[in-house]
Amino acid sequence: MPETISLEVLRYSPERDAEPTFQRYDVPLRKDWVVLDALNYIKDKVDGSLTFRWSCRMGICGSCGMMVNGEPKLTCATFLSNYANDAVPVRVQPLRYFPVIRDLVVEVTDFMTKLQSVKPWLIRKEEKPTSEGEYLQTPDQLDRYKQFSMCINCMLCYAACPVYGLDPVFIGPAAIALAQRYNMDSRDEGAHERMDVLAQHEGIWGCTFVGECTEVCPKHVDPAGAIQQYKLTATIERFKSFLLPRGAK
């Protein structure tokens, strides 16, 4: 294994630059280093102005999502040694399809707004008082939504979704998967409230089942599956409301 590895990192400073540029750095190649370690090495030892987001460095906070050689990745989970024998430097760019604020930091308010719009919390007509004890749930009931609950909001799926890239009003994979996480939760009673947001054209109907969101998800949430399943649910609901008397919900 060689001693060093080269990275080409996107630099953009809004005060200085009209367009982003790439800057090349050589960092030590340690067997257990990830791309995030390389970025931190650059910031500590080489160029303190390099700006990027990170936090837990163990794949649970969702902060460090970036493009590595054109693929959306968590930089804390992408080993440098995978690229050790490449002829070209490792390209690190900010998460695709989001506006770039500076260097590798992107503007995520759009995602945050969309996430909030699907009401990702348990909605109940009446909360049970704590004196009555916990809400009980069987393992099978848990199994219905557990996969969708693993989402860490890292937005790699948005960077992989061409529909989101072409049409930014699309609500996006993670938002729909999280809506499903609550829709499928036996404790939740808010499915019809979420349907108004999801059943619009910018909701689930923009999705064409490319499936890349599922491929890049580091937590195996399968947002593509969540979306297709919800299309079926929404369609059945639509036919039911057409066939049943008005007002019956």
Partner 1 sequence: MAKQSNEPVLWALFSAGGVFAAFVIPVHLFLLGLAFPLGWIPAAGYESLHALARLPLTRLYLFALCFLALFHWAHRFRYTLYDGLQIKHLNELIFVCCYGGAILGTVVAGYLLWSFR
Partner 2 sequence: MSDTSPSTRHTEYHPRWYRSRVSTWWWLARWPYLKFILREISSVFVAWFVVLLLLQIRALSRGPDAYARFQHWLQTPLVLLLNLVTLFFVVFHAITWFNLTPRAMAVRFRGKRVPDLLIVGTNYAAWAAISLVVAWFLVRS
Which helix (H) or strand (E) element contains residue 34? Answer: none
Cα–Cα distance for residue pair 198/173, rounded to 1 Å: 11
User: Does residue 239 interact with partner 1 by CB under 8 A?
Assistant: yes
**For residue 109, what are its two tokens?**
């308010």
Give me the least distance between CB of 227 and partner 1, in Å please: 12
Cα–Cα distance for residue pair 143/111, rounded to 1 Å: 27
Amino acid identity of residue 139, one-letter, is: P
The listed partner (partner 1, partner 2, none) that binds 211, CB under 5 to 8 Å by sort, is partner 2
Which CB atom, from 69 or from 228, has the smaller least distance to partner 1?
228
The pairing of beta strand 65-68 with beta strand 90-93: antiparallel
Site map for partner 2, 123-142, x if CB under 8 A?
Answer: ---------------x-x--
Which CB atom, from 8 or from 215, has the smaller least distance to partner 2?
215
Question: Do residues 98 and 160 make contact, with C-beta atoms less than 8 angstroms apart?
Answer: no
Q: Which residues contact 239 (CB under 8 A, 6 or more apart)?
A: none
Applying CB under 8 A, the residues found at the interface with partner 1 are 162-163, 166-167, 196, 199-201, 205, 208, 231, 234-235, 237-239, 241
Applying CB under 8 A, the residues found at the interface with partner 2 are 12, 14-15, 19-20, 70, 97, 99-102, 107, 109-110, 113-114, 138, 140, 143-144, 162, 165-166, 168-169, 208-212, 214-215, 222, 224-225, 228-229, 231-232
